[in-house]
């Protein structure tokens, strides 16, 4: 194998590494977007059924804690 072939193979390896990084980055972004969407949907459902429109995140957390405490007793 001469140096040109080795150089060409090294370039192909680098290209494959870059493609792998790009695929992994797209997959992470896809997972992040799916999680964000799920959190928004769950939050909207919680807001709807717990009458929390206009409640601060801290106030919502207090309501959740009250529910948990009530169920544990």
**Residue 17 confidence (pLDDT):** 98
Look at 25 and 1; give whichever has higher pLDDT. 25
64 φ, ψ (degrees, to nearest 5): -65, -45
Residue carrying the six token digits 């009250």: 66
Q: pTM to 2 decimals?
A: 0.69
Calculate ∠ Cα 14-20-25, nearest 5°: 130
53 CB contacts (<8 Å, ≥6 apart)? 47
Q: What is the mean pLDDT of residues 50-62?
A: 88
47 CB contacts (<8 Å, ≥6 apart)? 53, 55, 60
> 54 falls in which pLDDT band (50, 70, 90)?
confident
pLDDT averaged over every residue in the chain:
92
Percent of the chain with pLDDT over 90: 60
């Amino acid at each position: 194998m001469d140096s040109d072939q080795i150089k060409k193979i090294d370039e192909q390896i680098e290209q494959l590494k870059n493609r792998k990084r790009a695929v992994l980055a797209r997959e992470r972004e896809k997972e992040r977007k799916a999680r964000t969407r799920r959190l928004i949907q769950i939050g909207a459902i919680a807001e709807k059924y717990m009458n929390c429109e206009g409640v601060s995140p801290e106030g919502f957390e207090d309501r959740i804690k009250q529910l948990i405490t009530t169920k544990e007793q």
